[in-house]
Amino acid sequence: MTDTAVELSIGEVAARTGLSVHALRFYEREGILAAPVRRNSGGRRVYGLDDVEWLNLCIILRASGMPLPAVRRYTELVRDGGGNEKDRLDLLRQHQDDVRAQIARLTECLDLITFKVGVYEDIVETGTTDHSCEAPPSVPRD
């Protein structure tokens, strides 16, 4: 339910969330907002603090790699109200697993990059010209 005590314009919501006005309109068209966007007497979009909070959650889900259809599905489940918490949990657990896998892969990448930085720091420090591209044994190569 939207907090009606505070009325924010689309520009104010853009400033609070870091999303562009274009992105906010896109989210609205794509059904990503938990509540329908209200309009004032002049037909302009009016948002509440609940909308900002929801958008911030969506920003985090998207930044963590959740595909737009999954965000839309999660939004639909929330909009449908209680009784579907198991579906919400399943969706979020799957995304949690995906994020953990992404972190593991990025950790492998960081390990290799850290190794290569050390190699080049040694070369720069010693003045040698050894440009070996060997990866450390613990880093798998694709």
- Taking phi over 0 as left and psi of -120 to 50 as alpha, with beta for the rest, 43 belongs to left
State which amino acid sits at residue 15. Answer: A
Look at residue 137 and tell me whether its pLDDT is greater than 80.
no
Question: What is residue 18's predicted lDDT score, i.e. its pLDDT?
Answer: 97
The answer to whether 46 and 38 have CB atoms below 8 angstroms apart is yes
Give how far Cα 36 sits from Cα of 1, 91, 95, 120, Å: 10, 23, 25, 55
Please calculate the CA angle 109-107-114 and round it to the nearest 5 degrees.
Answer: 55
Check residues 135 and 24 and name the one with the higher pLDDT: 24
| Structure-block tokens of residue 36 | 């329908």
Task: Give percent of the chain with pLDDT exceeding 90.
Answer: 84
Cα dihedral value 22, 72, 106, 17, nearest 10: 40
d(CA 131, CA 21): 49
pLDDT 10s digits, 44-103:
999 999 999 999 999 999 999 999 999 999 999 999 999 999 999 999 999 999 999 999
